[in-house]
Every structure is written in structure tokens, then in C-alpha cells.
Structure 1
Amino acid sequence: MSSRFPRRRRVRTAYPVLLLLAPVLAAGCSAPPPSAAPSSRGWVGPTGPATADRPATPPAPPTPTPARPSASTAPTRAGLRHVFPVRAGNVDYHPTHSAYPGTDIFADCGEPVVAVTDGTILEVSRVDRFDRRGPRGPNNGGLSVSLLGDDGVRYYGSHLSAIATGIDAGIRVRAGQQLGRVGRTGNANNVCHLHFGISPPCTARGDWWIRRGVVWPARYLDSWRRDGNREPAVEVGAWRREHGCPKAPAAGGGGG
């Protein structure tokens, strides 16, 4: 028996397949890689997806191991470098000095005398005014330079044969910069050497009895000669707290 309506042929649709492929196609074109962006389901990365019991966290970057500074590069308390005041291979000095603290550094005339540390030039004497018949003290150093270091310490060198060009009061210098040359001016007794003194800065001029040296320099020179960086600031500060700035030289001994 035939039906009033013709029998229709069923057609299978492709919609389920397309629906399944749509997320994959979209992810391949526009979605960021799982390790670069979070999603509503939690961060997905090398540690795996988040769960209700364990939220995922991005891996921590490795902590770099800091390099240990060597003894020669480690910063000091004041952060300043100190160098030996005479740039020469053949030098010698004694740990003591006659009458007051100071050191005579013996080297050939003409060897470079350099700034011990960074600082500002305080005084420069370019004329040898020493006279054996005159007052003993103020002009004993002959040609000389004094430097106020950035560590607050005054460094004094005298008996020079020459002062470097451009070295004048108020000029900034760096550690190792040449200030002059070893000589035998003043009361050096015709012996080539550098008189070296360490003191606090009391006055710009007129305190030669302090400027010539108030603490013994030898242990600092020993360190600097070995490329160490021993600092005199603490000892100089303690001396000034105890003695202040004496208005006259102590009995005995002339200036250097």
C-alpha cells in the first residue's frame, strides 16, 4: 500500500564534527600558548594545570649565586682606594721618625709622588724658602703638597724637587695621580726622600706642627705597598678628639 507522501531520504549533517573542530581551530590561530597566559580554569604551565586542591603557580626563576669579592676589590668603609705615595720600585722607609710621628720615604730624586687617595689639594709650596739661619719649622719642607682626602684625612708630602703642572689649591685629584717628584729641598740635608705626614685638617695655613704628622704612617704604608687598603681615618679622628688642634708646636723638633 503506497503512502500519500513520498518517503524522504535522511541526510546526515556534519554539524557535530564542525562543533568539535571549532575549539581546536580557534586555539591554533589565536589562543596564546598555555605557558604564556592564564585561563578561567587556572594557570597552565610546566607545573601542570591547577586543581581545586592545588592551585598552580609559575615556576620561580633560579636564584643567581653572588660572586664573592676578592680582598683587592672589596669596598672599604669609606669606599676609597689608597695607594703608596711614591711610584717607584726602589723605595725604603723607617717605622719611626725623630721628634714627632712621620715617615721619611727614601727614593731616587725625580721619582713620581702621587695622591694617596681621592681628594682636594689644600696647600702647594712651589718655592723653597728654607733658610738655616731662619726660624726652624714653617719652611722646613721646601717644595710641598698637602691633600685633604675624601676620607677626611690630610696627607702631606715635602722635600719635593718639582710640583706637577696643574696641581694647585682647590684642585680635585684622584688616587695615584702625580703631584710632584721626590727631591731634597728644605731641610732634607741633601738626601733624596719624601717626608710623609698624616694629620687632621685643622687650618688651611699656619699649622705646620700638625701638618707634618700626628699619627705614625708606617703601618698604613705597609698595607698600601702590598696593594692593601688600610685606612687612617679612625685613628686620625681619635687623635683630634683627644688633642683638638694645638695652637703651637710641642717642644722639640722642627717641621718636615
Structure 2
Amino acid sequence: MRSRSTGRRPRPALPVLLLLVPALAAGCAPGAGDPAGPGSSWQGPGSGPVTAEQPAASPSAAPSTAVPSPSPSRTPARHVFPVRAGNVAFHPTHSAYPGTDIFADCGEPVVAVTDGRILEVSRVDRFRRSGPLGPYNGGLSVSLLGDDGVRYYGSHLSAVAAGIDAGVRVRAGQQLGKVGHTGNANNVCHLHFGLSPKCTGQNDWWIRRGVVWPAPYLSSWRKKGNRGPAAEVAAWQRKHGCPKAPSSGGGGG
């Protein structure tokens, strides 16, 4: 039908509708909220609903509640002083070979220096002055292979704690036994403490008793520090391997 005034047909409304569709999708239609207003933009978890114009955060951006597994290369092993007592003293040196005698009252708790697995336990004092020197010098003793690869050895104990047996896992600070004077301790209450690599098994007493000086590490742990002997012990083993037993048993535990 032609208009009487102009003679032209009226234009269809389709182009106008096409122009309105993007505006509606963008939230610009009459009555739509301000995209920058409260509740319309995502500002983080719990800050409000996510609107159509703001995509939800990807899973990698959301904070994780899972506890990551510790990385051995970034998480150093925890170390604690091996005797839990107030009145404790130790010598920085030792006769015949590297080791340290830690002096404390008999009966004071001896604890695991770090997390690890029990290697050897001696619950019987087999030391005899007329017998072989060396293998039984320590009397009652416990050795622990730490998760850091170091063997921690304590001897002359008066008792080994119940449940402390070869293969048992322990945590730093867990009680292993009590200070005593078994073995060749000469009736002096103390803990012989040695650091070494695990070499030839249960008969490598000459290595187990100590191959690097413990005093610098004991001084750190006593002050609540965390200096670890793993690097020095590994360097010693690279240089010396697993040497044979000495001809003389020597002193100490």
C-alpha cells in the first residue's frame, strides 16, 4: 500500500532490531545494571556473582585448599638436639676419631634428631674389657637413618624405648632411649653421638661411631637452628667410600 503523502512504502523495523541485539547482549538495554557497579563485576572468590559479561575464573586461578607435597630439594630436613634436658654439655672434639660425647644426667631422654627409619638397636650390653674392642663399645645403642641420608648413632644408653626396633619410622624429637653409661662409658653418664653414611650394614661399627665432627651441627640444633650434615657426610663417602675396619678398636662408642 502506498502512502498518500509521499507515495513510499514504510521501512521495515528489522535493521533496528538487529542494532538492539548486540546492545542487549552487552547489558546496555534499558534497566540493565551498571557493569562497573557492585555485584556485577568479579573481584575474587566470594565477592559476588559472576555476570554474563565477566567470565568465571579458571580453575588454576582459584586458591587451592590442597596441601602441596614437600619437595626434598626445597624443604630441608628438620633437626633437633639429641638429648632433651636442660643441663647438657659436650666436647667439640673426641679421641681417636670424629664423634662427640654429650654429657647429661643418666635417665634424660635421648630423642631422634630427624625424621627417618631405625636401622639398628642394641638392647643388651655385650661390652667386656677382655673381649674384642670396637664392636660392643657402645653398650645399649640406637642408630637412625634419617630421610636426609645420614646415619645418626647414639650409644651408652641406660634403656631403649619400647617400640624402637629396626625398620620402625620415627619423627624428629621422638624418644629413642635414655642417657646411661653402658659399654665402655667408664661409669660416666653421657651419650656418644656419631654421624656417618650407611655403608656395609650392621657390622660397620668403625664407620657407624662417626666420620665427621658433629659439634658444629649440635651447636646449631641447641640454638634451635637447622644446620644439616648431609652434604658433609655425602662428601666424605665420595672421598673414602666404605673403608675396612681399623686394626685397633680405639676408644669411644
> Do the two structures share a fold, i.e. TM-score over 0.5?
yes
- For 2:100, the equivalent position in structure 1 comes to 103
Q: 1:176 aligns with which of 169, 173, 176?
A: 173
Matched residues in 2 for 1:193 and 1:214: separation? 19
- Whose Rg is larger? 1
- For 1:6, the equivalent position in structure 2 comes to none
Matched, 1:83 2:80: yes
Matched residues in 2 for 1:225 and 1:130: separation? 31
CA-CA distance at 1:34 after TM superposition:
1.2
Q: SS in structure 1 opposite 2:154? A: strand
Q: How do 1:1-256 and structure 2 match up within 5 A?
A: 27-28=30-31, 31-35=32-36, 36=40, 78-249=75-246, 251=248, 253-254=250-251, 256=253
CA-CA distance at 1:203 after TM superposition:
2.4
Normalised by the length of structure 1, the TM-score is 0.72
- Residues 157-183 of structure 1, C-alpha deviation per residue, up to 9 Å, x if partnerless? 000000111100000000000000000
User: Contact 2:118–2:144 at 8 Å: present in 1 too?
Assistant: yes
What amino acid maps onto 1:90 in structure 2? N
User: Contact 1:144–1:157 at 8 Å: present in 2 too?
Assistant: yes
- Residues 11-64 of structure 1, C-alpha deviation per residue, up to 9 Å, x if partnerless? xxxxxxxxxxxx9xx643xx3541236xxxxxxxxxxxxxxxxxxx9xxxxxxx
CA-CA distance at 1:94 after TM superposition:
0.4
Matched residues in 2 for 1:80 and 1:194: separation? 22
Matched residues in 1 for 2:75 and 2:229: separation? 11
Matched residues in 2 for 1:138 and 1:147: separation? 17
What amino acid maps onto 2:146 in structure 1? G
CA-CA distance at 1:87 after TM superposition:
0.2
> Please, which runs of 5 or more residues in structure 2 have no aligned partner?
1-23, 42-53, 55-71
CA-CA distance at 1:253 after TM superposition:
1.3
CA-CA distance at 1:248 after TM superposition:
1.4
Identity percentage of aligned residues: 79
Matched residues in 1 for 2:248 and 2:106: separation? 31
The structure-2 alpha-carbon separation of the partners of 1:184 and 1:230, relative to structure 1 and needing over 3 Å to count, comes to same
CA-CA distance at 1:79 after TM superposition:
2.0
Matched residues in 1 for 2:106 and 2:141: separation? 14
User: Contact 2:192–2:252 at 8 Å: present in 1 too?
Assistant: no
User: Contact 2:133–2:248 at 8 Å: present in 1 too?
Assistant: no
Q: SS in structure 1 opposite 2:233? A: helix
User: Contact 2:157–2:178 at 8 Å: present in 1 too?
Assistant: yes
- Residues 222-250 of structure 1, C-alpha deviation per residue, up to 9 Å, x if partnerless? 00000000111111011001110012126
User: Contact 1:136–1:255 at 8 Å: present in 2 too?
Assistant: no
The structure-2 alpha-carbon separation of the partners of 1:198 and 1:250, relative to structure 1 and needing over 3 Å to count, comes to farther
Matched residues in 1 for 2:189 and 2:231: separation? 31
What amino acid maps onto 1:88 in structure 2? A
User: Contact 1:99–1:252 at 8 Å: present in 2 too?
Assistant: no
Matched residues in 2 for 1:168 and 1:203: separation? 19
Count of residues paired in the alignment: 196
What amino acid maps onto 2:183 in structure 1? G
What amino acid maps onto 1:222 in structure 2? S
What amino acid maps onto 2:35 in structure 1? P
